[in-house]
Amino acid sequence: MSTEPATSTTGRIDFTLMYVTHDAFRRDLARLRRAAAEGRTDSLGVRAGWANFKRQLHVHHTSEDEALWPRVEAAGAGRADTAEILAAMAAEHAHLDPLLEAVDAALEQRTARPAELADVVAELESALGGHMKHEEEAALPLIQEVLTPKDWAAFGQAIARKQKLSGAAAYVPWVIDGADDAQRAAFFGAMPAPVKVLNRLFWSSRYHKRHSWA
């Protein structure tokens, strides 16, 4: 069964899934920051939350690198700003990798140097937050101008292939964890109808049993 987002019929791209995913990344880094401040980073829940965060970020960014930015580059070749925006996106993605590794290293040294953990978490939060803000303010308007809803759906299909059904089972309850009613409605409105049913019957309970970030 496909978990790809439905194609827009309005002629404009619906970025709902991008925005709710970005919000989930911001939420998880805030949770990691609080866990570091409270000395809880050695708990199984925090470690599970951090591992899932890294998995979701990897899928999100590699899918962009492989299936979105090349499409934008080709479609936006006649625009003066395309190359500059895409170069910035690539550089910002590359900048995040060593920061993720630094957090991993600091988590292993949390007892000896807790201040280092707080510092690297803050640096990652700032870098990823800045990247997502830049993407929302510069890259998404570019995408809206040069791609079609069909192009955007193809990007969604690439993510679905990378995630597979098992990945969707982790992504869906994760991305709406802590979302308000309006955000949940917007998310499920952008997804195929069976996704909401699968999440209610199976995925949500499995996700919450792991007690991520607890």
Model confidence band, residue 125 (pLDDT cutoffs 50, 70, 90): very high
Q: Which two tokens stand for residue 127?
A: 């870098």
Model confidence band, residue 5 (pLDDT cutoffs 50, 70, 90): low
pTM: 0.92
Asked whether residue 5 is assigned to any structural domain, the reply reads no
In terms of Cα–Cα distance, which of 49, 19, 38, 44 is closest to 173? Answer: 49
Number of structural domains the chain divides into = 1
Compute the average pLDDT of residues 182-200: 95
Looking at residue 212, its pLDDT comes to 87
Mean residue pLDDT of the chain comes to 92
Looking at residue 1, its pLDDT comes to 45
Looking at residue 109, its pLDDT comes to 80
Inter-residue contact 4 to 161 (CB < 8 Å): no
Asked whether residue 10 is assigned to any structural domain, the reply reads no
Looking at residue 214, its pLDDT comes to 87
Q: Domain residues for 131?
A: 16-209
- Using a 10 angstrom Cβ sphere, with 0-12 exposed, 13-18 middle and 19 or more buried, the burial of residue 11 is exposed
Looking at residue 110, its pLDDT comes to 55
Asked whether residue 1 is assigned to any structural domain, the reply reads no
Asked whether residue 25 is assigned to any structural domain, the reply reads yes
Q: Which amino acid is at 10?
A: T
How far from 89 is each of 64, 107, 108, CA to CA, in Å? 10, 27, 30
Long-range Cβ contacts of 43-46 (<8 Å, 24+ apart): 43/214, 44/211, 45/210, 45/211, 45/212, 45/213, 45/214, 46/213, 46/214
Confidence check: pLDDT of 114 > 70: yes
Percentage of the chain lying above the pLDDT 90 cut: 87
pLDDT digits (tens, 9 = 90+) for 61-109: 999 999 999 999 999 999 999 999 999 999 999 999 999 999 999 998 8
Residues 6+ apart with CB under 8 A from 98: none
Asked whether residue 9 is assigned to any structural domain, the reply reads no
The CATH number that applies at residue 25 is 1.20.120
Segment of 41-45, 170-174, 179-183 carrying the highest mean pLDDT = 170-174
Asked whether residue 4 is assigned to any structural domain, the reply reads no
Asked whether residue 2 is assigned to any structural domain, the reply reads no
Q: Which comes out higher in pLDDT, residue 136 or 115?
A: 136
Q: Using alpha carbons only, how large is the chain's radius of gyration in Å?
A: 18
